[in-house]
Copies of this chain bind each other. A is one copy, B any other.
């Protein structure tokens, strides 16, 4: 099957929250995040538990903003970068909500949003949540070296974001009713989703996730353009998850030679979250938390206000495994694509 988008009419993101660490708060988007902790610890003894606590807080905040409780949620899609996804398993254990554990590396927020949109759009559940996280200290310890080791980072390396984003997706939004029967209003409609295909192009460098993920973004983006007859000019922005500066330059080059030069419509959550020169992050941010908190705190409010009207969001993930890399395996990538529309644009479209 040539990959093609799935219509998810009626599904909308209605509440989000973002919880981050100190470096993310100190970055250019810092003031937009709901909660931060100067110590990156969130009151916990280990970095792994700190990550779980971020998820717990993010889910709680998202529910609170919507005036809902866990009992109102049909299912939660959750994942993180830790082995056995324990950031999620422990973070969400106090919520009695049916739990789907996901592993999509840094694409997990998009994977969860994709499934949430599919299920709520068809009324299988009224409301689903997607909750994901990463923590710089827990990820570096597991994937590369403990921070105390002080390993030197090459220019292509990205900085794993300490952060967790939680999204509440609700179905039943008709074309002419911006407000739901429960009184909630959409921040953005998820009109289409296109889950990605796993691709690899021979990258084996654990310190160059951008290069491993860029081919997956190419596959999903060109596949979407092709199957819908659209191009970069049809969208306000094309937002990738965490290709960083290195991966984005690769994506940009391949799109240009494919006749789909995105110009300045292409942006990346990993390039936005830190001050490239002031914060020593080399190729930018990465991790399940990266796209999750930037989409929640930066782009979704712009969609809600109508500052953005029609965007493509691609959650990018590198299924990077230290054990597999030591065995000489390449790093597979995947990119899940979602089309997000502002309430204003969605309703205008409905009236055409």
Instruction: Report if A195-B79 is in contact (Cβ < 8 Å); known contacts: A84-B105, A324-B90.
Output: no
Of residues 298 through 328 on chain A, the ones whose CB sits less than 8 Å from some CB of chain B are 319-324, 327
> Which interface class (under 10, 10 to 19, 20 to 34, 35 or more) fits A?
35 or more
Query: Is A73 interfacial (CB-CB < 8 Å)?
Result: yes
A196 vs B101: C-alpha distance in the bound complex, in angstroms? Answer: 11
Whether B103 and A101, one on each chain, are in contact in the complex, defined by CB atoms closer than 8 angstroms, is yes
The interface residues of chain B lying within 8 Å CB-to-CB of A103 are 79, 84-85, 101-103
- Complex-state Cα separation, A72 to B2, whole angstroms: 9
**Which residues from B are CB-within-8-Å of A350?**
none
Is A19's beta carbon under 8 Å from chain B? no
Residues from chain B with a CB closer than 8 A to the CB of A86 are: 319, 321, 323-324, 329
Assess whether A96 is in contact with B3, with CB atoms less than 8 Å apart: yes
Contact among B96, B102, B319 for A100, CB-based, below 8 A: B102
**A213 interface residue, CB < 8 Å from B?**
no
A window 140-193: CB within 8 A of B: 142
Contact A102 B99 (CB under 8 A): no
The 8 A CB mask of A181-211 against B (1 = contact, 0 = none) is: 0000000000000111111100000000000
A83 (CB) vs chain B CBs: closest residue? B83
| A194 touches which of B98, B200, B332 (Cβ 8 Å) | B98
Given contacts A1-B74, A1-B96, A82-B323, 7 further A-B contacts (CB under 8 A): A1-B71, A1-B72, A83-B84, A84-B321, A92-B198, A98-B194, A102-B103
On A, residues with C-beta under 8 Å from B are 1-3, 6, 46, 48-49, 70-75, 79, 82-86, 89-90, 92-93, 96-105, 111, 115, 118-119, 122-125, 142, 194-200, 319-324, 327, 329, 332, 334
